[in-house]
A and B are shown apart, each in its own frame.
Chain A
Amino acid sequence: MKSFSTGFPAPMTERRRFLAALALLALPLSARAQQRAALSPVPGVPPAPTLVLPDMDDKLVDLARYRGKVVLVNFWATWCPPCRKEFPSLGRVRKLFKPADFEVLAVNVGEDPETAFSFAGATDFPILFDRDSPAMARWRVNGLPSTYVVDRQGRLALRAVGGREFDDPAIVEQIKELLNRGRTR
């Protein structure tokens, strides 16, 4: 290595190497990653753990405020290739439902707002920051990306480990089912 930079973002030469490494990290599963899959039911449908984290503007956002909506909670990082791949589908799926019924919360792990913004830009949904990953621990997340869907009653209904396309018809149908199930109760 030519330098010993510890800062972020890295100098461009290091950035290029980093991006090449990132691409290489993505290679083995990239083909398989394109296979589509639905979300898995969470056994027992337990209450969602607490989630209170700062957003891009450093304002605290509490999952509890969304009670009555179905909420898709996605744990991600900019350096995680499948996270980057699935991220645009978060915005797409959010647009398929009424804001009064459905929300997306994207929980960035370990990074700062500038880094997240440089990748995500301005989003229609909140990006929250779990800098030291205590929320990851509470939610028992065991890999990135991980996603949970919280039902209208604030319970963990669905989950996924690994990348998905959230506007996949199978997943959209699962969300619709949760929305309808909540209405009938």
Chain B
Amino acid sequence: MPMSLSLSLIFAFMAMHAGACLAADDLEWRQHATQGGVTLTANPLTAAQRTAFYLARGFTESAIRPYAQACGFSLGMRNAGAGSVHTKLADWRAIGTDGRSVGLRLPVAWDADWARANVLPPARVAFRWAQFQAENSFEAGDWIMGMATLESPLPGSFRIVARYRDDKGSHEIVLHRLSCAHD
């Protein structure tokens, strides 16, 4: 398949799913929460999806396997309010229905693994910037997305409690009924 055709297909695919998202917003979008002007979104990612993404960025399959097999998500955060919003991934928790709580593994921890595994610099650069960053500041209208993983998997359903602060203080926004994706 010519590359231009591949790209055309992927854009058509993306456009199709963008429409689906709009519809899902109206009906049921379990991995979507809004509080004040802040919107947090999550989408579980399978091992196959992440493996394919990072193989194309220069990882070997064996190197990326621990990341791909971790419980992972694509996360998005948007500031539609008027002021600044700040968040640290280290302050976020995933909490299971049994009350067990785990943090999100920070990108720097993964990068230490890549250094030990002699992952090539271009792959590490791509990985770094494809992650939901450890610290984010959002001005009005800003948004960011990236991948993230739990420090350890949680069985069944869980919620992610994301903490952020703005000029009014500290807040929590909660994404309910999440679960790890399985291939």
A interface residues, Cβ below 8 angstroms from B:
1, 3-10, 12, 14-35, 37-40, 77, 79-82, 109-111, 118-119, 131-133, 136, 142-144, 159-164
Contact = CB atoms under 8 A, between A and B. Distances in A.
Contact of B52 (A17, A33, A38, A111): A17
Interface in B46-101: 48-53, 55-62, 74-76, 78, 80
Nearest to B121: A132
Interface of B: 1, 3, 6-7, 9-10, 13-14, 17-18, 20-22, 25, 31-32, 39, 41-43, 45, 48-53, 55-62, 74-76, 78, 80, 121-122, 125-126, 128-130, 133, 135-147
Contacts of A159: 139
A8 B56 contact: yes
A40 B61 contact: no
Contacts of B7: 119
Given A18-B56, A20-B13, A27-B17, A110 B43 contact: no
Given A23-B14, A24-B49, A29-B41, A40 B142 contact: yes
A132 B43 contact: no
Contact of B17 (A23, A40, A119, A161): A23
Contacts, number: 178
Contact of B125 (A39, A133, A142): A133
A16 B76 CA distance: 23
Contacts of A15: 6, 56
Contacts of B145: 25-26, 28-29, 81-82, 162
Given A1-B61, A109-B129, A28 B43 contact: yes
Q: Count chain B CB atoms within 10 A of each CB in A9, A23, A35, A144 and give the residue with the most.
A: A23
A4 B60 CA distance: 6
17 contacts: A3-B61, A4-B60, A14-B56, A18-B55, A21-B50, A24-B45, A25-B74, A28-B43, A30-B14, A39-B141, A79-B126, A80-B129, A133-B129, A142-B133, A144-B129, A162-B144, A162-B145
Contacts of A26: 14, 17-18, 145
Contact of B142 (A14, A17, A111, A161): A161
B17 A22 contact: no
A32 B141 contact: no
Nearest to A85: B14
